[in-house]
Amino acid sequence: MRDIKEIEKVQKRATKLVINLKKISYTNRLQHLKLPTLKYIRLHGDTIEVFKMTHNIYDPDVSLKLEYNSGSSTRYNKYKLLNRTFYHDLQKYYFSACIVNIWNSLPNCVVDVSTINQFKACLDKFWMQQDVLYDFTADLTETGDRSVHETNDV
């Protein structure tokens, strides 16, 4: 969390350079400028990378091997990943460990699309109401609208 705060300070200072917004809160400046937090951008980017891995956009011989959770029901999406138990503290910070719960919380209508641009549009729509979008101290609540979204218009 300390590193996130340090990185976020840079954007915080940059948004204060807009004279009309200098005296309002950081969260309100981000909303006014329609800028997401850097934490949100990282989570968004990580999720896009997992989409590329699960849909074989990367060469499978050189990309990270993600294991699918075939033993459980596909409650959220058909690309559900295996959530491992780690015995060493360091392992829980690996990319493959950090992204599993976020990826598994996405519904089929978000992950079961054919192109990266469709995925980005569906993910943005699904995460639109997340607090982390403009508040870097918040976490993804993983409670987005799970109703079926039409993806044909993307």
Residue 90: its pLDDT value, please? 57
Using alpha carbons, list the distances in angstroms from residue 122 to 24, 35, 52, 114. 31, 18, 15, 12
Structure token pair of residue 52 = 């590329």
In a domain, 152, yes or no: no
In a domain, 15, yes or no: no
Residue 2: its pLDDT value, please? 73
Residue 150: its pLDDT value, please? 43
In a domain, 140, yes or no: no
Residue 153: its pLDDT value, please? 45
pLDDT in tens, 96-133: 667 888 888 888 889 999 999 999 999 999 999 888 89
Q: Is 30 exposed, middle or buried (CB count within 10 Å of its CB: 0-12, 13-18, 19+)?
A: buried
In a domain, 50, yes or no: yes
In a domain, 29, yes or no: no
Asked if 113 and 122 touch (Cβ cutoff 8 Å), the reply is: yes
Give the residue, 106 or 95, on which the prediction is more confident. Answer: 106
Q: 117: domain range?
A: 36-133
In a domain, 72, yes or no: yes
In a domain, 61, yes or no: yes
pLDDT in tens, 32-79: 999 999 989 989 999 999 999 888 888 777 777 777 676 655 566 778
Residue 36: its pLDDT value, please? 93
Q: Is the pLDDT of residue 154 over 60?
A: no
pTM score, two decimals? 0.76
Give the residue, 154 or 50, on which the prediction is more confident. Answer: 50
Give the count of domains, the chain. Answer: 1
> Mean pLDDT across the stretch 81-108?
72
Q: Is the pLDDT of residue 11 over 80?
A: yes
In a domain, 22, yes or no: no
